[in-house]
Structure 1
Amino acid sequence: MNLDQISTFLAVYQLGSYMKAAEYLYLPQPTVSNRIKQLEAELGQPLFIRDKRGVTLTEEGRTFLPYAQKMTSSYEEGKEAVSRLKQGLQGKLTIGCNNSFAGSALPVVMEAFIERYPDVDIQILSYSSKDQIRRMKEREFQVGITRYAVNDPQLSFRQVHSEEVKLIVSPRHPFAKTAKIPIGDIRNQKLILYQPDTLYRKMIDVSLSRHNLQYDLKYETNNMHLIKNMVIRNLGVFFSGPLFLRDELLRGDVVAVDIVDNPFPESNVFLMYRSTELNSLDHLFMAHFQTYMERLRHTPLA
């Protein structure tokens, strides 16, 4: 059974005549007859009754008809999907991304994407998660990468990564030689935190306050590059998921220390998107991103 036989069967059924089907398909009539005979032989039953008025379906033909229609429909859907993919190999991709991910894992993800799709032009807009959500709702872009999900009917979120928050320290810090530290030991540490209006800072404050933990806030900044360099120079310590300092951890520039009685929720990465407005290139990137994040998950970072 092949697609030529199926399409010929449907043409004969729709036109009610072998001759009309042959004209429609630009085929000799014997070819049409032969295809139907081959299909009937494979099914083991006649599909048409031929008389002076034309052809009609047998009971077996009526039973087979919806399956034949489904097969050709699936074929057309497959062609359309391939066409969309081909269109996605060129064009402009615009992505929103939170600052911490843009300065850590995004470059290696994009390197693999660019290598595979070199003709795609890429624009990356880096904002805080709050700004990114607002700008997506204003339709500046259709796909974003964020650390947080919100309950908003205009937006969809797909979690692609999750990991424990750890204390990031310099290799020269006393904790660097310790497998785990009690959360209470942070009281005397010089903490580096994001600014109070960020979702990350609110998460830290709420988590520590639930444990009645006061901390020594030494530095505030929203610049991830600065935070990394301050930790490397042993000027302070920082709470983070290891993914956001993957290169520094792999090089040994910083150390991730486990926290006993860890009060923090998991550090996540989400794909954020407007599901009704995605184009083929958006779909292409989202599939690539999810696959590559799965690979990164198996890369030992700490």
Structure 2
Amino acid sequence: MTLEQIITFVAVYRLGSYSKAAESLYLPQPTVSHRVKQLERELGKPLLIRGKGGILLSEEGNAFLPYALNVLNSVERGREAVERLKQGLNGKLSIGCNNSFAASVMPSILESFIHAYPDIAIQVHCYSTQDQIKLMKNKQFQLGITRYATNDPWLTFRLLYATPVHAIVSARHPFAKRGSIRIQDLLKERLIVYQNDTLYRKTLDLTFNSLNLQYDIQYETNNLQLIKQMVHCNRGIFLSCPLFMQGELASGDIVALTIERNPFPQSQVFLMYNEEEMNSLDYLFFRHFESCMNALQAHVKDERPPLKQHAE
């Protein structure tokens, strides 16, 4: 069974005539008849019969028709997808993103995307998850990058990255050589946290409250760069995903400690979108972003450093 046979069968049915189908497909009529006969031979039943009003569907032809139309529709959607890709090689792309991701991971992803598609202009709107959702519903952009998912039936949240929360400390901190830290020891230190109105802070509070524990705040801010500087200066411990500290961790300025019996929800990265509203540029970045995050996730799974034991 070939696509040409299906196209020819549908053309004969729609036009009600072999000759009209041949004219429409720019083929000799014997070729049209041969294709239909080949299809009927493969299916083992006649699909078209001659009636007083022209060519009609047999019972088997009527059963086969919806599947033939689905094949043609799928091919047409595939052609449209390819055309969208061609059109997506230039234009303006708008993306939503949270501040912590924009300040740490996003630059390298954008750099690789721009290298592949240099004629695409990019706008990055940095907002909280709730604000991104509002702007997406107002059609400001159709792709958003967020650390949290919500129960919004209008949006799809695609999880692309997940890793445990770590205790981020200065390389000069007494805990830096340990490799891991207990909650009891963590609570003896002062923490650096995001501000009270953030989802990060709500998650932190819920976790400690569930354990009936309290923590001591040293600094409170919504600026990731300031948090990194405070950690580097050994002003406190920050509970975070190492993903957002890649450069500082690589330089050795700070250290990520695993948390023993970790009670915190995993740190996650979602791509949120409404597929019905997405255009060709959105799809282009979607695939690129997914590929980048899959590579980062695979790197995390491959890294299994031995934990250093510490004295009681």
Query: How would you bin the TM-score normalised by the shorter chain?
Result: 0.7 to 0.9
1:98 equivalent in structure 2: 98
Q: Mean Cα displacement is larger for which, 12-21 or 120-129?
A: 12-21
- TM-align CA RMSD: 2.7
- 1:207 to 1:45, Cα distance in 2 relative to 1, 3 A: closer
Counting only pairs closer than 5 Å after superposition, residues 173-188 of structure 1 correspond to structure 2 as 173-188=173-188
- 1:248 to 1:13, Cα distance in 2 relative to 1, 3 A: same
Q: CA deviation at 1:102?
A: 0.8
Q: CA deviation at 1:167?
A: 0.4
Counting only pairs closer than 5 Å after superposition, residues 13-162 of structure 1 correspond to structure 2 as 13-43=13-43, 46-49=46-49, 54-58=54-58, 61-162=61-162
Q: Mean Cα displacement is larger for which, 21-30 or 159-168?
A: 21-30
Instruction: Give the conservation status (yes or no) of the 8 Å contact 1:184–1:213.
Output: no
Count, aligned residues: 302
The gaps in structure 1 that reach 5 residues or longer are none
Counterpart secondary structure, 2:104: coil
2:309 equivalent in structure 1: none
Counterpart secondary structure, 1:175: coil
Counterpart secondary structure, 1:192: strand
- 1:174 and 1:151 mapped to 2: Cα distance? 42
Per-residue displacement from partner, 1:116-170 (whole Å, max 9, x unpaired)?
A: 3222211001123343344334433222111122233444322222211110012
The gaps in structure 2 that reach 5 residues or longer are 306-312
Q: CA deviation at 1:29?
A: 2.6
Instruction: Give the conservation status (yes or no) of the 8 Å contact 2:181–2:260.
Output: yes
Instruction: Give the conservation status (yes or no) of the 8 Å contact 2:218–2:235.
Output: no
- 1:118 to 1:212, Cα distance in 2 relative to 1, 3 A: same
Instruction: Give the conservation status (yes or no) of the 8 Å contact 2:194–2:220.
Output: yes
Q: Mean Cα displacement is larger for which, 54-63 or 191-200?
A: 54-63
Instruction: Give the conservation status (yes or no) of the 8 Å contact 1:192–1:236.
Output: yes
- 1:5 and 1:75 mapped to 2: Cα distance? 14
2:231 equivalent in structure 1: 231
Query: Is the counterpart of residue 274 in structure 1 residue 300 in structure 2?
Result: no
Instruction: Give the conservation status (yes or no) of the 8 Å contact 1:166–1:239.
Output: yes
Instruction: Give the conservation status (yes or no) of the 8 Å contact 2:172–2:234.
Output: yes
- 1:7 and 1:235 mapped to 2: Cα distance? 71
2:310 equivalent in structure 1: none
- 1:23 to 1:232, Cα distance in 2 relative to 1, 3 A: same
- 1:89 to 1:216, Cα distance in 2 relative to 1, 3 A: same
1:241 equivalent in structure 2: 241
Q: TM-score, normalised by structure 2?
A: 0.84
- 1:186 and 1:262 mapped to 2: Cα distance? 12
Counting only pairs closer than 5 Å after superposition, residues 186-197 of structure 1 correspond to structure 2 as 186-197=186-197
Query: Is the counterpart of residue 265 in structure 1 residue 270 in structure 2?
Result: no
Letter in 1 for 2:167: L
Letter in 2 for 1:98: N
Q: CA deviation at 1:173?
A: 1.3
- 1:150 to 1:3, Cα distance in 2 relative to 1, 3 A: closer
Counting only pairs closer than 5 Å after superposition, residues 202-213 of structure 1 correspond to structure 2 as 202-213=202-213
Q: Mean Cα displacement is larger for which, 209-218 or 97-106?
A: 209-218
- 1:298 to 1:247, Cα distance in 2 relative to 1, 3 A: farther
Q: TM-score, normalised by structure 1?
A: 0.87
Query: Is the counterpart of residue 163 in structure 1 residue 172 in structure 2?
Result: no
